[in-house]
Amino acid sequence: MGFLGKMRDRLTPARPTTRALGNAAEDRALAHLQSAGLQLLERNYRTPGRGGGEIDLVLRERDGTLVFAEVRSRASRDWGGAGASIGAVKQRRLVFAARHYLLRWPSPPPCRFDAVLVDGDQIEWLRAAFDAE
């Protein structure tokens, strides 16, 4: 790379990676849920092996309900926003991961699947966004 290319790279602000943007959205979502009284049990729970699933946040409500929260982020609400990206395949993977997570519990408590949508500067918390069927 020549001198001008190096100078251009130094002057161009680095764009955050997709992972960094996702982590920032999860941080915001977690802070939002904790301010509502939920307690974090686990972050980014993954099932072993390929083809499994991941749960962004596993939390507990004050009443003992386990909450499996999916965090989705989009820069804006254009094209359906963050909520439009939680389709049937994603839901099945979340349910699979939740069932795997619950294997460690001798007697699983009531559970639900929530979604936290981060669209630009707005956060929307959807309780019971979908069912495990």
Q: What is the pLDDT of residue 6?
A: 57
Q: CA nearest 55: which of 73, 69, 41?
A: 69
Strand order in the sheet with 66-74: 39-46, 54-60, 66-74, 111-119, 122-130
Report d(CA 49, CA 75) in Å as an integer.
31
Report d(CA 132, CA 128) in Å as an integer.
10
Domain annotation for the chain: domains and CATH numbers: 18-130 (3.40.1350.10)
> What is the chain's pLDDT, residue by residue, as a tens digit (133 residues)?
565 555 555 655 677 777 777 788 899 999 999 999 999 999 999 998 777 789 999 999 999 999 999 998 866 555 555 555 677 888 889 999 999 999 999 998 999 999 999 887 889 999 998 888 7
Number of Cβ atoms within 10 Å of the Cβ of 100: 16
What pTM did the predictor assign? 0.81
